[in-house]
Each structure stands twice: as C-alpha cells, then as structure tokens.
Structure 1
Amino acid sequence: MNPQEIGYCDLSISKNFDLTQLQIIEKLGVNTVALNTYVEEVCEEPKKKKKKGAVREKQDYFPEPVPLPDDIKRNSKLNILQRVTIEISDASIALKINQSENIKKYDIIAVLPKTLQAFQYACGSMDVEIITFAPETRIPFKVSRKLYRQAAERGIFFELMYSAAIKDTTARKNIISTAHNYHAVGKSKNLILSSGAEQPAQVRGIHDVINLGFLLGVNSNEGIKLILNNPKQLINKAKGRRSGKLYMEVSAVSEVEDSLGVN
C-alpha cells in the first residue's frame, strides 16, 4: 500500500462486522479500515502431565485474523488491514506475544492496559502501535504527562472510539473526559479517532467525525489529523515493526559515477 492510498482511516472495525456491508463505510468517505480481533486477557491454563515420549503441542494464545472472502478482496476499494487488541495486566504478556506465530499475521497491534503497571509497561517497553481503553468505563488509573510523552516519543498512538458514545450517555461522558485528559497531559499528540463499530449504523461520515472533534477538545484541523495524518503515521510505523529496521547508505554522486566507470 502506498502512503497516498491510505487516506481517511477507521482503524477499529469489529471482526464481527458484516463484511458484505463494508461498501457502506467506503461511501462514508473512509479509505482504510482495520478489522479488529479483541483478545481478552490470557489466563494460564494448568499444565497437563506429559506422557513419556509424547510431544507437547505448542499452543498459540492468539487467534488468526478474520479471513476475508475472495469477493471482498477482489471488489472492495477499501484498504483492509488486520488488527489485534490485547488486554494486559502486567509484563507477562510479552512472552506469549513473542512466541505467537499468529501475532505476526496482523498489520496493527493494540493493547488495552487494565492496570497502571500494564500501562507503564506499554508506554515504556512494548513494541505496539496503539494504546486504547474501553469507552464504556473510565480509565482505572491516572494517565500522567510523563508516561503519555514517553509513549508518544516511541511512536505509540492513543485511541478514542466514538461508536459507544452514540448509543450510551455514560460512554459519551467517558470518551469526552478521556479526550480532555489527553489534551491536558499531552496536547492530544499521537491521538487517533476510530469508530469501534460492530454494525454499519455505528459508523459516521468523515465530516461528522471531524466535527465530533469539537466535543473532544480539538479544532477542525486537529480533527483531520485524528483520522488522516496520525493514522497514516501509525500504519507506516506498523510496517517498520513488521519489516525491521532499514539502513540506507548515502554516497556522493561523484562516488557513484566512479564506481560505474562514468567520466
């Protein structure tokens, strides 16, 4: 995918969304979507006693991305990415992520910290693209200026999801409160706005989403960043994580000509 093709983004569409209705999102002005697979906190299962000579089956704690039907791949003009959102309570999740083959199949990795310890770990150490919180509840700890800045400097983005606010007054208050908190501690830097939609009725058009920014404490120019510029940076960061660091050697034109035997 070329950067100019990314366009306006909605980086959180539930994997349960009716994929035959994706054209509705396209008509609303969105160019890129991410199908989100939500993984509740991984609990350790008791290890079964291994029989002598038996080979223990390697368990992957994370599911594969939702499969895309061939007709969707052929006919949809949307750029469709795969995203996983993982609940975390502490740093023990790192081993499970590192051992997972399925995680490598996702374009975007997001985490939902449930504790301050997990939030600190996500901001300072995890190689992920998004830190998000459920809009149905308030963030259960204080988001400090130091941790927000640390995450932003590492290229991690904070996410607000608006679909819950459409149908629930409490969620609306929570998302507005979280947005103003992000503005207070981080001037809304590295912020993206997604729908989190499970059905077409929960998605809004581009201009409506930009106008929603006013409620969240950002002006129209900043509102565009939340669904255009910032998601584009996020996607490019995710590409870098998957492909590894790229090193470039820069040489003077004269050196190149000499190596080619050009006079």
Structure 2
Amino acid sequence: MMSHLPIPGKGKFYDLHIPYDENERHIESTVETLKDLGYSVCAFSKYIESNSGKKEGKKNKRQLPEAPTKRDFDGIVQLTRATIELSEIDDQITVRDIATGGKFDIIAVEPKTEKLFLSACTQLAVDIISIDCTEKPSFFFRKHQVHAAIARGIHFEFNYAPMIRNPIIRRYTTTTAMRLLECCQSKNIILSSKALQPLELRGPFDVSNLGMLFSMRESCVPHVVSHNCRCVVVHSFVRKTAKGAIYVEKLENTGEDDDCFVESAAKRPKLEIST
C-alpha cells in the first residue's frame, strides 16, 4: 500500500528546489523558514553544469558529485536532487550516469536547445524538466513534445525566487510559462523557489497564486506546490525501484451461469493501478 512507501502523505506542501549550501547555519535557517511558512517537504539541489565549456581531453574525466548530506531536522522531510544543465548531446551521458548511480532522490534537467528539450521529454530518465527563464527562450514549445513528457509522468518546473531578484527575469518567466501552459493545458506544472536566501522564500499559498499570473486554470492552481510535487516524488520512487502499488477488489459471487460470464464481467469494477 502507498502508506508503506517512503513517500510523504497527501495534503503537504513542497519546495523541490533549494540550492544546496555547505554552510550548516544557512541550511538550518532555510529549513526553519520553510517550516514556519508551512512546508513539509524540501529538496536540496546540486547544479551540474554542462560539459560544453571544457576541453576535449577533460570531458570524459568529470567526477559525478555526491548527493547533499541529509541533516537531522524535525518536522520536514529532506530529499536530494540533481539539476543537470543540457547544452550538448554529451550531457545526456551525465543524466544516465546520475540515474544509474541512484544517489539522488530526484533528477531534473535544464535543457538549453530544442533538440535536448525533445530528448528530455521523450527519452531521458528524469523526473523534472526545469525551465530556465534567466534569458530569452531560444526555442518554442511544441505540443507533441510536451504531451510526450506528460504521458511519461514528467513535470515542468518554474522557479519564483529569480523573479523577485530581477524584473527582466520576471517578464521572461511569465511569458515562457504562458506559452508552456498553452501546450500542457495547466497539467504537470510545479513551482519551486530556487531561493539563495531564506528571505526569498514565500508561503505555499502565495506561490500557488502565481499560477493565476501565468493564466493557469483555476482548478490546477493549488496543485503546483502540493499534489503535483508529490507526483514527482512518486515518479522518482518508481523510476529508481521499478515498483508500484496495485489495488485489487474482491468480487462477490454473482451466481450467474458461465454463459453470462462475459456480459457480467463488463459490469464489474475494474482494477485500479496507481504509482
């Protein structure tokens, strides 16, 4: 049953993008602020830059980073996350190696080209496609690409803290989010902070209201910091363990003849499969 899986219960608030800092005091301050604001789950992220800027002889010698250390904090669930920049084809090897290593709870990618965005949507074993809005987008979203990612259980992420720091980023984020929402119909969207300081964090209700700014469907707005984020954690667990949950309902004896089996079976409850 789902309650026995290492997955937070329903109805909790998530921030799945907190850049990891080795400064223990800073981490404690961030976690305390998250708890005060009402969050129950957070993910500390390590950013892995693209291999594109490195010399040919050093590209294959990169050492994969260790996952952030989980500290003992009460009242909040800590997850680890790798955010991988995709600027060239070889960066997909890094994604494969990180996924195979199994050290990180969540794997996110940040594609910089349309070709790599397509690969992330259709091929790569990832949980989140994080949309970089620090500069003007270099490609347009296409419905078949976005729908392919949704069918695979992948979620798209926007970060709100950079919007607070820079009005240009705020404009880029709003425009890009509206374009993506046209393709995905407000499905599989999460909002995270990517906050560098505790003062940049905002409460879950304030964050979810940003969905209205992005012209998100009103019924989907509350899910961007709760239900959708939990789906990311479930997707990650299934990806790592190839496990799921299945619910089977025992049928009562109808007393019908075997000749009526086909007709009666069509009226019986179907199996519900969830992950």
Indicate yes or no: 2:17 matched with 1:19. Answer: no
In the TM superposition, 1:155-166 aligns within 5 A as 155-166=153-164
Secondary structure of 2:222 counterpart: helix
Matched with 2:40 is 31
Cα distance change on mapping 1:193 and 1:247 into 2, 3 Å: closer
Matched with 2:65 is 63
Distance 2:27 2:242 in 1: 31
In the TM superposition, 1:71-110 aligns within 5 A as 72-73=71-72, 75-100=73-98, 103-110=101-108
Distance 2:170 2:118 in 1: 26
CA RMSD of aligned residues (A): 2.6
Q: Quote how far apart the aligned CAs of 1:216 are.
A: 1.5
In structure 2, give the amino acid aligned to 1:19.
Answer: I
In structure 2, give the amino acid aligned to 1:206.
Answer: P
Indicate yes or no: 2:144 matched with 1:146. Answer: yes
Q: Quote how far apart the aligned CAs of 1:92 are.
A: 2.6
Indicate yes or no: 2:18 matched with 1:10. Answer: no
Cα distance change on mapping 1:122 and 1:166 into 2, 3 Å: same
**Is the 8 Å Cα contact of residues 179 and 188 (structure 1) preserved in structure 2?**
no
Cα distance change on mapping 1:226 and 1:246 into 2, 3 Å: closer
**Is the 8 Å Cα contact of residues 121 and 154 (structure 2) preserved in structure 1?**
yes
**Once structures 1 and 2 are overlaid, which stretch shifts more, 78-87 or 1-10?**
1-10
Matched with 1:244 is 242
Secondary structure of 1:105 counterpart: coil
Cα distance change on mapping 1:170 and 1:103 into 2, 3 Å: farther
**Is the 8 Å Cα contact of residues 51 and 90 (structure 2) preserved in structure 1?**
no
In structure 1, give the amino acid aligned to 2:148.
Answer: Q
Q: Quote how far apart the aligned CAs of 1:93 are.
A: 2.9
Indicate yes or no: 2:230 matched with 1:232. Answer: yes
How many residues are treated as equivalent by the alignment? Answer: 241
Matched with 2:267 is none
Q: Quote how far apart the aligned CAs of 1:191 are.
A: 0.5
Q: Quote how far apart the aligned CAs of 1:138 are.
A: 2.3
Matched with 2:257 is none
State the TM-score, normalizing by the size of structure 2. 0.79
**Once structures 1 and 2 are overlaid, which stretch shifts more, 238-247 or 138-147?**
238-247
Q: Quote how far apart the aligned CAs of 1:250 are.
A: 6.7
**Is the 8 Å Cα contact of residues 19 and 44 (structure 2) preserved in structure 1?**
yes
Cα distance change on mapping 1:211 and 1:142 into 2, 3 Å: same
Cα distance change on mapping 1:136 and 1:182 into 2, 3 Å: same
Aligned identity (percent) is: 28
Matched with 2:116 is 118
Cα distance change on mapping 1:245 and 1:216 into 2, 3 Å: same
Matched with 1:184 is 182
Secondary structure of 1:234 counterpart: helix
Q: Quote how far apart the aligned CAs of 1:188 are.
A: 1.8
Q: Which runs of 5+ in 1 are unaligned?
A: 49-57, 255-263
**Is the 8 Å Cα contact of residues 146 and 184 (structure 2) preserved in structure 1?**
yes
Distance 1:2 1:98 in 2: 24
Matched with 1:198 is 196
Q: Quote how far apart the aligned CAs of 1:78 are.
A: 0.7
Q: Quote how far apart the aligned CAs of 1:108 are.
A: 0.3
**Is the 8 Å Cα contact of residues 96 and 125 (structure 2) preserved in structure 1?**
no
Secondary structure of 2:191 counterpart: strand
